[in-house]
Copies of this chain bind each other. A is one copy, B any other.
Amino acid sequence: MSPAWNRRHVLSLSDFAPWEYNTVLQTANSFREVLSRRTKKVPTLQGQVVTNLFFEPSTRTRSSFELAAKRLSADTLNFAPGSSSLTKGETILDTAKTYLAMGTDLMVIRHKEAGVPHAIAAEMDRLNSGVGVLNAGDGQHEHPSQALLDLFTICALLDPANPRLELLQGKKIAIVGDILHSRVARSNLWSLTASGAEVHMAAPPTLLPKQFADYVKASDTAGSSEGIDRKLFIHWELEPALQAADFVMTLRLQKERMTSHLLPSLREYYQHFGITRERLQQCQPHVKVMHPGPTNRGVEITSDIMDDPDMSLIAEQVTNGVAVRMALLYLMGGGKA
Protein backbone atom coordinates (compact mmCIF):
# COMPACT_ATOMS: atom_id res chain seq x y z
CA MET A 1 0.00 0.00 0.00
CA SER A 2 1.23 3.49 -0.86
CA PRO A 3 2.10 6.03 1.83
CA ALA A 4 -0.21 9.08 2.12
CA TRP A 5 0.57 12.00 -0.20
CA ASN A 6 2.58 14.60 1.68
CA ARG A 7 4.10 16.74 -1.04
CA ARG A 8 2.77 20.26 -0.66
CA HIS A 9 4.38 21.66 -3.82
CA VAL A 10 4.92 20.10 -7.24
CA LEU A 11 7.91 21.97 -8.62
CA SER A 12 10.07 19.31 -10.24
CA LEU A 13 9.98 15.60 -10.92
CA SER A 14 13.67 15.17 -10.03
CA ASP A 15 12.86 13.70 -6.62
CA PHE A 16 9.54 12.00 -7.36
CA ALA A 17 9.33 8.50 -5.93
CA PRO A 18 7.72 5.67 -7.90
CA TRP A 19 4.80 5.50 -5.45
CA GLU A 20 4.20 9.22 -6.01
CA TYR A 21 4.04 8.72 -9.76
CA ASN A 22 1.62 5.87 -9.20
CA THR A 23 -0.57 7.89 -6.86
CA VAL A 24 -0.87 10.61 -9.50
CA LEU A 25 -1.64 8.02 -12.20
CA GLN A 26 -4.34 6.31 -10.17
CA THR A 27 -5.94 9.56 -9.03
CA ALA A 28 -5.91 10.93 -12.57
CA ASN A 29 -7.54 7.72 -13.77
CA SER A 30 -10.45 8.15 -11.39
CA PHE A 31 -10.89 11.76 -12.56
CA ARG A 32 -10.68 10.62 -16.15
CA GLU A 33 -13.79 8.57 -15.37
CA VAL A 34 -15.51 11.68 -13.93
CA LEU A 35 -14.79 13.54 -17.18
CA SER A 36 -16.70 10.94 -19.17
CA ARG A 37 -19.90 11.70 -17.27
CA ARG A 38 -22.39 14.31 -18.39
CA THR A 39 -21.87 16.29 -15.18
CA LYS A 40 -18.11 16.52 -15.06
CA LYS A 41 -17.78 18.02 -11.60
CA VAL A 42 -16.88 16.95 -8.09
CA PRO A 43 -17.21 19.10 -4.95
CA THR A 44 -13.69 18.37 -3.65
CA LEU A 45 -12.30 21.91 -3.59
CA GLN A 46 -15.60 23.76 -3.03
CA GLY A 47 -14.93 27.14 -1.43
CA GLN A 48 -11.20 26.97 -2.07
CA VAL A 49 -9.32 29.35 -4.35
CA VAL A 50 -6.92 28.30 -7.10
CA THR A 51 -4.94 31.23 -8.47
CA ASN A 52 -3.22 31.07 -11.85
CA LEU A 53 -0.17 33.33 -11.70
CA PHE A 54 0.94 33.18 -15.32
CA PHE A 55 3.68 35.76 -15.60
CA GLU A 56 4.40 34.29 -19.03
CA PRO A 57 1.16 34.30 -21.04
CA SER A 58 -0.41 31.00 -22.07
CA THR A 59 -3.95 30.28 -23.11
CA ARG A 60 -3.75 26.52 -23.50
CA THR A 61 -2.11 25.54 -20.22
CA ARG A 62 -3.99 28.20 -18.23
CA SER A 63 -7.30 26.96 -19.63
CA SER A 64 -6.40 23.40 -18.70
CA PHE A 65 -5.61 24.35 -15.11
CA GLU A 66 -8.64 26.64 -14.90
CA LEU A 67 -10.93 23.86 -16.08
CA ALA A 68 -9.31 21.35 -13.72
CA ALA A 69 -9.90 23.73 -10.81
CA LYS A 70 -13.50 24.45 -11.82
CA ARG A 71 -14.26 20.75 -12.13
CA LEU A 72 -13.07 20.34 -8.55
CA SER A 73 -15.57 23.16 -7.76
CA ALA A 74 -12.83 25.59 -6.73
CA ASP A 75 -13.08 29.31 -7.37
CA THR A 76 -10.38 30.52 -9.74
CA LEU A 77 -8.49 33.78 -10.04
CA ASN A 78 -6.35 34.63 -13.05
CA PHE A 79 -3.45 37.01 -12.71
CA ALA A 80 -2.95 38.95 -15.95
CA PRO A 81 0.57 40.33 -16.15
CA GLY A 82 -0.31 42.87 -18.82
CA SER A 83 -2.48 45.02 -16.61
CA SER A 84 -0.81 44.25 -13.33
CA SER A 85 1.04 45.82 -10.45
CA LEU A 86 4.23 44.26 -11.79
CA THR A 87 4.42 47.14 -14.20
CA LYS A 88 4.13 49.36 -11.15
CA GLY A 89 7.35 48.03 -9.63
CA GLU A 90 6.00 45.35 -7.30
CA THR A 91 8.18 42.26 -6.93
CA ILE A 92 7.01 38.80 -7.97
CA LEU A 93 7.08 37.66 -4.34
CA ASP A 94 4.91 40.62 -3.35
CA THR A 95 2.40 39.68 -6.05
CA ALA A 96 2.31 36.10 -4.76
CA LYS A 97 1.94 37.29 -1.18
CA THR A 98 -0.94 39.55 -2.19
CA TYR A 99 -2.81 36.58 -3.66
CA LEU A 100 -1.93 34.55 -0.58
CA ALA A 101 -3.38 37.27 1.66
CA MET A 102 -6.58 37.33 -0.42
CA GLY A 103 -7.10 33.70 0.51
CA THR A 104 -5.49 31.63 -2.24
CA ASP A 105 -5.21 27.94 -1.34
CA LEU A 106 -3.27 26.71 -4.38
CA MET A 107 -1.06 28.64 -6.78
CA VAL A 108 -0.26 27.57 -10.32
CA ILE A 109 2.78 29.47 -11.56
CA ARG A 110 4.38 29.98 -14.95
CA HIS A 111 7.36 32.28 -15.46
CA LYS A 112 9.96 32.69 -18.16
CA GLU A 113 12.75 32.43 -15.57
CA ALA A 114 13.72 29.07 -14.08
CA GLY A 115 13.27 28.86 -10.32
CA VAL A 116 10.48 31.39 -9.82
CA PRO A 117 7.94 28.76 -8.64
CA HIS A 118 10.55 27.41 -6.20
CA ALA A 119 11.19 30.88 -4.79
CA ILE A 120 7.47 31.47 -4.31
CA ALA A 121 7.01 28.04 -2.72
CA ALA A 122 9.88 28.74 -0.30
CA GLU A 123 8.26 32.05 0.67
CA MET A 124 4.86 30.38 1.17
CA ASP A 125 6.51 27.85 3.50
CA ARG A 126 8.50 30.51 5.36
CA LEU A 127 5.19 32.25 6.08
CA ASN A 128 3.61 28.96 7.22
CA SER A 129 0.85 29.65 4.75
CA GLY A 130 -0.09 26.07 3.97
CA VAL A 131 -0.42 27.13 0.32
CA GLY A 132 0.66 24.63 -2.33
CA VAL A 133 2.60 25.78 -5.39
CA LEU A 134 2.48 24.00 -8.74
CA ASN A 135 5.11 24.74 -11.37
CA ALA A 136 3.31 25.21 -14.70
CA GLY A 137 6.55 25.85 -16.55
CA ASP A 138 9.60 27.81 -15.44
CA GLY A 139 11.95 28.94 -18.18
CA GLN A 140 13.78 26.01 -19.70
CA HIS A 141 13.79 24.15 -16.42
CA GLU A 142 10.72 21.95 -15.75
CA HIS A 143 7.06 21.52 -16.59
CA PRO A 144 6.05 18.64 -14.31
CA SER A 145 2.30 18.53 -15.05
CA GLN A 146 3.07 18.13 -18.77
CA ALA A 147 5.42 15.21 -18.11
CA LEU A 148 2.87 13.62 -15.78
CA LEU A 149 0.13 13.88 -18.39
CA ASP A 150 2.50 12.35 -20.95
CA LEU A 151 3.22 9.54 -18.52
CA PHE A 152 -0.46 9.03 -17.80
CA THR A 153 -1.30 9.00 -21.50
CA ILE A 154 1.21 6.22 -22.14
CA CYS A 155 0.31 4.15 -19.08
CA ALA A 156 -3.45 4.52 -19.61
CA LEU A 157 -2.98 3.27 -23.16
CA LEU A 158 -1.06 0.22 -21.95
CA ASP A 159 -3.53 -0.62 -19.20
CA PRO A 160 -6.64 1.58 -19.02
CA ALA A 161 -7.91 -0.11 -15.87
CA ASN A 162 -4.71 0.28 -13.91
CA PRO A 163 -2.20 2.78 -15.29
CA ARG A 164 1.08 2.47 -13.37
CA LEU A 165 4.72 3.36 -13.76
CA GLU A 166 5.87 -0.24 -14.11
CA LEU A 167 4.07 -0.64 -17.45
CA LEU A 168 6.84 1.35 -19.11
CA GLN A 169 9.61 -1.00 -18.03
CA GLY A 170 11.56 -2.08 -21.11
CA LYS A 171 9.62 0.16 -23.50
CA LYS A 172 11.61 2.31 -25.89
CA ILE A 173 10.67 5.98 -25.97
CA ALA A 174 12.13 8.49 -28.41
CA ILE A 175 12.17 12.19 -27.55
CA VAL A 176 12.86 14.22 -30.66
CA GLY A 177 13.56 17.90 -31.16
CA ASP A 178 14.72 20.97 -29.30
CA ILE A 179 15.89 19.25 -26.11
CA LEU A 180 18.10 22.18 -25.18
CA HIS A 181 15.28 24.69 -24.64
CA SER A 182 12.58 22.25 -23.56
CA ARG A 183 11.30 22.22 -20.01
CA VAL A 184 8.97 19.44 -21.17
CA ALA A 185 11.94 17.24 -22.13
CA ARG A 186 13.66 17.89 -18.81
CA SER A 187 10.62 16.84 -16.78
CA ASN A 188 9.94 13.85 -19.03
CA LEU A 189 13.49 12.70 -18.55
CA TRP A 190 12.89 12.24 -14.82
CA SER A 191 9.58 10.42 -15.13
CA LEU A 192 10.48 8.20 -18.06
CA THR A 193 13.84 7.07 -16.74
CA ALA A 194 12.23 6.48 -13.34
CA SER A 195 9.81 4.11 -15.02
CA GLY A 196 12.52 1.85 -16.33
CA ALA A 197 11.88 2.81 -19.93
CA GLU A 198 14.73 3.14 -22.36
CA VAL A 199 14.82 6.83 -23.32
CA HIS A 200 16.43 7.89 -26.57
CA MET A 201 16.82 11.59 -27.22
CA ALA A 202 17.51 12.78 -30.76
CA ALA A 203 18.30 16.34 -31.80
CA PRO A 204 20.78 18.38 -33.82
CA PRO A 205 23.92 18.95 -31.70
CA THR A 206 23.07 22.68 -31.36
CA LEU A 207 19.78 21.78 -29.68
CA LEU A 208 21.22 19.35 -27.13
CA PRO A 209 22.25 20.56 -23.67
CA LYS A 210 25.98 20.42 -22.88
CA GLN A 211 25.42 19.46 -19.26
CA PHE A 212 23.55 16.34 -20.25
CA ALA A 213 25.95 13.98 -18.56
CA ASP A 214 24.89 15.48 -15.23
CA TYR A 215 21.29 14.47 -15.77
CA VAL A 216 22.29 10.95 -16.60
CA LYS A 217 24.47 10.77 -13.51
CA ALA A 218 21.83 12.27 -11.23
CA SER A 219 19.22 9.86 -12.45
CA ASP A 220 21.60 6.97 -11.95
CA THR A 221 22.09 7.97 -8.35
CA ALA A 222 18.43 8.55 -7.68
CA GLY A 223 17.50 5.41 -9.48
CA SER A 224 19.80 3.02 -7.73
CA SER A 225 18.05 3.41 -4.39
CA GLU A 226 14.80 2.28 -5.95
CA GLY A 227 16.37 -0.68 -7.66
CA ILE A 228 15.45 0.72 -11.07
CA ASP A 229 17.83 0.59 -13.97
CA ARG A 230 17.68 4.02 -15.65
CA LYS A 231 18.66 4.08 -19.31
CA LEU A 232 19.23 7.24 -21.30
CA PHE A 233 20.78 7.49 -24.76
CA ILE A 234 21.62 10.59 -26.76
CA HIS A 235 21.66 10.72 -30.57
CA TRP A 236 22.58 13.37 -33.08
CA GLU A 237 20.47 11.65 -35.71
CA LEU A 238 16.88 10.54 -35.79
CA GLU A 239 17.18 6.94 -37.01
CA PRO A 240 18.73 5.20 -34.00
CA ALA A 241 16.15 6.84 -31.74
CA LEU A 242 13.21 5.69 -33.85
CA GLN A 243 14.49 2.14 -34.33
CA ALA A 244 11.91 -0.18 -32.68
CA ALA A 245 10.50 2.67 -30.57
CA ASP A 246 7.14 2.16 -28.83
CA PHE A 247 6.45 5.87 -28.39
CA VAL A 248 7.79 8.94 -30.18
CA MET A 249 7.54 12.23 -28.31
CA THR A 250 8.07 15.26 -30.50
CA LEU A 251 8.87 18.64 -28.99
CA ARG A 252 7.79 22.05 -30.16
CA LEU A 253 10.41 23.87 -32.21
CA GLN A 254 10.39 27.52 -31.21
CA LYS A 255 10.82 29.56 -34.34
CA GLU A 256 12.77 32.11 -32.35
CA ARG A 257 15.65 29.62 -32.33
CA MET A 258 16.26 30.23 -36.01
CA THR A 259 17.08 33.86 -35.41
CA SER A 260 19.79 32.86 -32.98
CA HIS A 261 21.44 30.71 -35.66
CA LEU A 262 20.98 27.43 -33.80
CA LEU A 263 19.26 26.05 -36.87
CA PRO A 264 19.73 26.91 -40.55
CA SER A 265 16.03 26.66 -41.47
CA LEU A 266 12.73 25.03 -40.57
CA ARG A 267 12.95 23.12 -43.82
CA GLU A 268 16.30 21.62 -42.98
CA TYR A 269 15.06 20.69 -39.50
CA TYR A 270 12.09 18.92 -41.07
CA GLN A 271 14.33 17.09 -43.53
CA HIS A 272 16.44 15.63 -40.74
CA PHE A 273 14.13 15.38 -37.73
CA GLY A 274 10.55 15.77 -38.97
CA ILE A 275 8.35 12.81 -38.09
CA THR A 276 6.81 11.26 -41.23
CA ARG A 277 4.85 8.10 -41.86
CA GLU A 278 7.80 6.69 -43.78
CA ARG A 279 10.25 7.23 -40.95
CA LEU A 280 7.86 5.74 -38.40
CA GLN A 281 8.13 2.42 -40.22
CA GLN A 282 11.39 1.84 -38.34
CA CYS A 283 9.41 1.86 -35.07
CA GLN A 284 7.25 -0.84 -33.54
CA PRO A 285 4.10 -1.48 -35.61
CA HIS A 286 1.95 -0.12 -32.74
CA VAL A 287 4.05 3.06 -32.34
CA LYS A 288 2.25 6.17 -31.05
CA VAL A 289 3.27 9.79 -31.57
CA MET A 290 2.94 12.55 -28.97
CA HIS A 291 3.41 16.32 -28.92
CA PRO A 292 2.92 18.79 -26.06
CA GLY A 293 1.40 21.37 -28.45
CA PRO A 294 1.01 23.79 -30.01
CA THR A 295 2.32 22.02 -33.10
CA ASN A 296 4.06 23.49 -36.10
CA ARG A 297 2.45 21.27 -38.72
CA GLY A 298 4.96 20.16 -41.32
CA VAL A 299 7.95 21.02 -39.16
CA GLU A 300 8.12 18.68 -36.16
CA ILE A 301 5.53 16.31 -37.59
CA THR A 302 3.48 15.91 -40.75
CA SER A 303 -0.21 16.77 -40.72
CA ASP A 304 -0.83 13.26 -41.97
CA ILE A 305 0.54 11.67 -38.77
CA MET A 306 -0.83 14.37 -36.47
CA ASP A 307 -4.39 13.76 -37.65
CA ASP A 308 -4.20 9.95 -37.75
CA PRO A 309 -6.21 8.73 -34.76
CA ASP A 310 -4.43 5.37 -34.87
CA MET A 311 -1.00 6.94 -34.47
CA SER A 312 -1.45 10.30 -32.74
CA LEU A 313 -2.04 10.63 -29.00
CA ILE A 314 -2.09 14.44 -29.17
CA ALA A 315 -5.80 14.95 -28.42
CA GLU A 316 -5.59 12.27 -25.73
CA GLN A 317 -2.76 14.22 -24.11
CA VAL A 318 -4.90 17.36 -23.90
CA THR A 319 -7.84 15.46 -22.39
CA ASN A 320 -5.57 13.71 -19.90
CA GLY A 321 -4.03 17.07 -19.04
CA VAL A 322 -7.25 18.13 -17.35
CA ALA A 323 -7.49 14.82 -15.43
CA VAL A 324 -3.84 14.91 -14.33
CA ARG A 325 -4.12 18.55 -13.22
CA MET A 326 -7.29 17.71 -11.28
CA ALA A 327 -5.32 14.91 -9.62
CA LEU A 328 -2.43 17.21 -8.70
CA LEU A 329 -4.69 19.96 -7.32
CA TYR A 330 -6.70 17.32 -5.46
CA LEU A 331 -3.62 15.70 -3.91
CA MET A 332 -2.00 19.02 -3.04
CA GLY A 333 -5.25 20.48 -1.70
CA GLY A 334 -6.05 17.35 0.27
CA GLY A 335 -3.36 18.19 2.76
CA LYS A 336 -5.63 20.90 4.14
CA ALA A 337 -8.75 18.77 4.43
Hey, which bits of chain A sit against chain B, CB under 8 A? Answer: 35, 37-41, 46-49, 57-60, 63-64, 66-67, 70-71, 75, 77, 79-80, 82-85, 88-91, 94-95, 97-103, 252, 255, 293-297, 315-319, 321-322, 336-337
Distance in angstroms between the alpha carbons of A6 and B84 in the assembled complex: 35
In the assembly, how many copies of this chain are there? 3
Q: Are A63 and B79 in contact (CB under 8 A)?
A: yes
CB pairs A–B below 8 angstroms (6 shown) = A66-B77, A67-B77, A71-B75, A85-B294, A98-B294, A102-B321
Which B residue sits closest to A59, measured CB to CB? B84
Distance in angstroms between the alpha carbons of A37 and B315 in the assembled complex: 39
Q: Are A60 and B85 in contact (CB under 8 A)?
A: yes
Tell me which of B85, B103, B315 contacts A40 (CB under 8 A): B103
A336: B residues at CB distance < 8 A:
38
Q: Are B77 and A58 in contact (CB under 8 A)?
A: no
A84: B residues at CB distance < 8 A:
59-60
Distance in angstroms between the alpha carbons of A99 and B98 in the assembled complex: 29
Do A67 and B319 contact each other (CB < 8 Å), given the known contacts A48-B38, A49-B40?
A: no
Tell me which of B63, B101, B322 contacts A315 (CB under 8 A): B101
**A256 vs chain B, min Cβ distance (A):** 10
Which B residue sits closest to A40, measured CB to CB? B47
A39-B46, A103-B319 given; name 10 further pairs at CB < 8 Å: A38-B337, A39-B47, A59-B79, A63-B77, A85-B293, A89-B255, A90-B295, A94-B295, A97-B315, A102-B319
A255: B residues at CB distance < 8 A:
89
Which B residue sits closest to A57, measured CB to CB? B83
A294: B residues at CB distance < 8 A:
85, 88-90, 94-95, 98
Distance in angstroms between the alpha carbons of A118 and B75 in the assembled complex: 31
A64: B residues at CB distance < 8 A:
102
Which B residue sits closest to A317, measured CB to CB? B101
A79: B residues at CB distance < 8 A:
59, 63
Q: Are A75 and B70 in contact (CB under 8 A)?
A: yes
Q: Are B318 and A60 in contact (CB under 8 A)?
A: no
A59: B residues at CB distance < 8 A:
79-80, 83-85
Do A67 and B57 contact each other (CB < 8 Å), given the known contacts A101-B315, A293-B98?
A: no
From A77, A94, A98, A336, residue with most partner B Cβ within 10 Å: A98
Distance in angstroms between the alpha carbons of A80 and B52 in the assembled complex: 15
